[in-house]
Chains A and B, each alone.
Chain A
Amino acid sequence: MTGTVDPTIINLVVFVLAVFVGYHVIWNVTPALHTPLMSVTNAISSVIIVGAILAAGPAEIDFGSVMGAVAVALAAINVAGGFLVTRRMLEMFKKKKQA
């Protein structure tokens, strides 16, 4: 056994561990908050915006970077919309003061 580990294998390790973490964290989410869970996971999956930024990055504008810029805009809608709407919903779940 010699040589370095292929990055894809490292990715796979990370992937499998992350699925386990996700599995355990999500089962603890209270059913009352399942809608905020969907909106916040939506915002989190929009972290693909980092891929879009890289695609839009090159100094010369070409087909690929235009695609990237459009993807940045789409993902940004989700990032802002997802977190803000989650916050709006969670505000409603604040403990009500007994009048």
Chain B
Amino acid sequence: MSANVIALCYLVASVCFILALKGLSHPETARRGNAFGIAGMTLAVLTTLSVVLHGRIDLILAAMLIGGAIGAVAARRVQMTQMPELVAAMHSLVGLAAVLIAVAVVDNPAAFGMSASLPAGARFELFIGTFVGALTFSGSVIAFGKLAGLGKQFRLFSSAPVTFPGQHMVNLVLALAMLGFGVAFFMSPDKAWTPFLVMTAIAFVLGVLIIIPIGGADMPVVISMLNSYSGWAAAGIGFSLNNTMLIIAGSLVGSSGAILSYIMCKAMNRSFFSVILGGFGAEEGTATAHAGEKTHRSGSADDAAFLMGNAESVIIVPGYGLAVARAQHAVKELAAKLTEKGVTVRYAIHPVAGRMPGHMNVLLAEAEVPYDQVLEMDEINSDFGATDVVLVLGANDVVNPLAHEKGSPIYGMPILDVAKARTVLVNKRSMASGYAGLDNPLFYMERTMMVFGDAKKVVEDIVKALD
């Protein structure tokens, strides 16, 4: 194939990728979108294989087969509750692949049709692609550990923020050093392994240091940000290889991740930088601002069943606790039982509920909850006032009315206004405060009844009591 034909094939593949993302605007068109994505990828890979037809195609096919098999098994086996971990792991692979490709370019530019001395522009682009790739890799590994709950095995994976004195200073010094070695790599007349490798090593360390101070509930932002990085890394490699398809695909992914990070930050009313600088939830003291003797009312699953069974409308608010307890199927059963009794059941999803964007939606979809019963915060917030019973399952900060009070640390954060409902049932494991370390006045309202226990157990008990 001539270079022109190859470029045109890549153009078609790029259009397929755009259509893949466009399909996700609605659940009905999403599967067709995914098919476009697969078609684009197939075309891209076949086109590239035709270029290296006279080389070690056996080696390439073997590698593709091994990787493809591992990916297919992982995709089949993964539990929906483990989706955040899987996505983090996949981000790390993109990052690592980008670094390895950059190493290969430095080693043998001729394989990519470049002059042996690596043009200056290519060296600059390699620098960008490599450090973003390395950051993505090590950052995603830490994010994976935090999401998979490996904090007990290895302290850096702790879901609580890991901080140390002078952290930001260390990061700054390392970042400057990395830039310095990047410049050295750029300026050196030919193959400059030393500055290149030192720069890459520093980027790996930086990736770890940037993610460790960020706590568990900020993970939706982190995982979106790493998603974005993995795209920019691909685009960076595209620049060094002069491959427009890579640039297009990379920028699509990069902007996707950036927009998701923005949406997540907005849903927490926090600036991107305050999330990235981390350490949120580590400080204490603010929690006691409203302290005093407060009493809460607690009830049993039977009481909850009675209240819900006699309601006209019920809204269920799922949070991370639902994912931890894997309670999605039990919740669906509860909803079915209530619907049978003539109760209208809907679900309200806060954008940062769970550990990644859309986490709750996927869990409910897995339990076969029809997606038109699952509503986003803006769609349902005005309905709480006319709702008989709200059941909050393992959510805390996203329903904390303190967000409406000036001076509270979460003031201004958009929340689900569950406090307006006639009765609020809150399921939690204990009275411990949420991630933000704040007490939640919702729990002490007269209309609120606490139902303590594991989300799945409690919901199953309610279902039994409804019979």
Residues of chain A whose beta carbon lies under 8 Å from any beta carbon of chain B: 6-8, 10-11, 14-15, 18-19, 21-23, 25-59, 61-65, 67-96
User: Complex formed: what's the CA distance from A44 to B461 in Å?
Assistant: 44
Do residues B249 and A38 form an inter-chain contact, with CB atoms below 8 A?
Answer: no
Instruction: Indicate if the CB atoms of B255 and A39 lie closer than 8 Å.
Output: no
Contact, CB under 8 Å: A34 / B358: yes
Q: Are A29 and B90 in contact (CB under 8 A)?
A: no
Instruction: Choose one: B111, B252, B362; the contact of A22 (CB below 8 Å).
Output: B252
- Does A51 contact B237, Cβ atoms closer than 8 Å? yes
| A86 adjacent to B34 (CB under 8 Å) | yes
Contact in complex: A42, B111 (CB < 8 Å): no
Check if A56 sits within 8 Å of B56, measured CB to CB: yes
Query: What per-residue 1/0 map shows which CB atoms of B257-284 lie under 8 Å from chain A?
Result: 1011001000000000000000000000
A45 to chain B, nearest CB (A): 4
Report how far A94 CA is from B22 CA in the complex, Å: 17
On whether the beta carbons of B103 and A72 are closer than 8 Å, the reply is no
**Which residues of B approach A to under 8 Å, CB–CB?**
13, 17-18, 20-22, 24-28, 30-31, 33-34, 37-38, 40-41, 44-45, 47-49, 51-52, 54-56, 59-60, 62-72, 74-76, 78, 80, 83, 86-87, 90-91, 93-94, 96-98, 100-101, 103-105, 107-108, 110-112, 121, 125, 223-224, 227, 230-231, 233-235, 237-239, 241-257, 259-260, 263, 349, 351, 356-359, 361-362, 365-366, 368, 370-371, 374, 376
Contact pick for B67, options A23, A38, A74, CB 8 Å = A74
Bound: A74/B243 CA distance, A: 20
Add 18 more A-B contacts to A36-B30, A37-B21, A50-B246 (CB < 8 A).
A15-B235, A21-B18, A27-B259, A35-B358, A35-B362, A42-B227, A47-B44, A50-B44, A50-B245, A51-B101, A64-B108, A71-B100, A71-B101, A74-B100, A76-B66, A77-B68, A81-B75, A85-B83
Residues of chain A within 8 A (CB-CB) of B91 are 42
CB neighbours of B357 from chain A (8 A):
31, 34-35, 37-38
Chain A to chain B contacts (Cβ below 8 Å), 19 pairs:
A18-B248, A22-B251, A35-B87, A36-B24, A38-B224, A40-B33, A45-B233, A48-B101, A55-B112, A57-B51, A57-B52, A59-B55, A65-B111, A69-B63, A73-B63, A78-B97, A86-B37, A87-B31, A96-B368
Tell me whether A58 and B55 are in contact (CB under 8 A): yes
* Closest 8 pairs between A and B when the two form their complex, measured CB to CB: A76-B67, A34-B358, A81-B71, A57-B52, A80-B71, A22-B255, A34-B357, A64-B107
Interface pair A47/B246, CB less than 8 Å apart: yes
A75 to B250, CA, bound (A): 14
Contact B37 A38 (CB under 8 A): no
**Chain B residue contacts of A68, Cβ below 8 A:** 100-101, 104, 111
Q: Which residue of A lies closest to B49 (CB)?
A: A53
Nearest CB in chain A: distance from B67 CB, A: 3
Whether A25 pairs with B67 at a CB distance below 8 angstroms is no
Closest to B47 in A: A50
